[in-house]
Amino acid sequence: MSLPANTDSDHWVSWDDYHELIERLALIVHESGWKFDKILCLARGGVRVGDILSRIYDVPLGILATSSYREAAGTVQGTMDIAQYITITRGTLDGRVLLVDDMVDTGMTFGKVRDHLLREFPAIEELRTAVLWWKGHSQVTPDYYVEKLPTNPWIHQPFEDYDSIRPHQLEAWMRKGIRSQS
């Protein structure tokens, strides 16, 4: 199944496109020459991006849960919540840290998380940010990004199908082959 055409209000991404964007982001960071010790990804959107970058760079991966898009099936931004703890595979959050998410939309999450990290983790020597998409209305400029989207479209990511599927629907969904068509 082919995706709809991208417009000023909708940006459609296939699984292949999604993985290529992550690889391009890894290359952009590499070509910058900046060396970092750890990756911290923001859950949920940044988890897949952070996981792949952590594997490519062979550095520890930390995960920080944040949430602001809870209303209307995740389409309306609400109040910002930052988890109390960070999960990290090796060591603590210190040194040079690459903060990763899928996108910077308004910039609210990145701005608040950046301030929180620098306040709560004084052993962070340098913090830079990396995203796949940078929306034009963002109040924050990421250090690294793959695509700038000046019209601020809704990004339809390939895993969004899972937002509306529930366990009791999985068998029928798999039988219809929905996943293999996307």
pLDDT digits (tens, 9 = 90+) for 8-52: 999 999 999 999 999 999 999 999 999 999 999 999 899 999 999
Tokens 């995706």 belong to: 3
Interior angle at CA 69, CA 68 and CA 74, nearest 5: 165
pLDDT level of residue 140 (50, 70, 90 thresholds)? very high
- pTM flag (> 0.95): no
Tokens 């099936």 belong to: 73
The pLDDT score that the predictor gives to residue 46 is 94
Rounded CA-CA distance 13/27 in Å is: 20
Alpha-carbon dihedral 176, 168, 19, 105, rounded to 10 degrees? 120
Rounded CA-CA distance 54/51 in Å is: 5
Q: Where are the domains positioned within the chain?
A: 10-181
Residue ranges of the alpha helices (H) in the chain?
15-32, 47-57, 108-120, 161-164, 170-176, 178-181
The pLDDT score that the predictor gives to residue 41 is 95
May I ask the CATH class of domain 10-181?
Answer: alpha beta
Residue whose C-alpha is closest to residue 94's, from 133, 120, 112, 64: 120
The pLDDT score that the predictor gives to residue 91 is 83
Instruction: For the chain, give the number of residues.
Output: 182
List beta partners, residue 86.
Answer: none
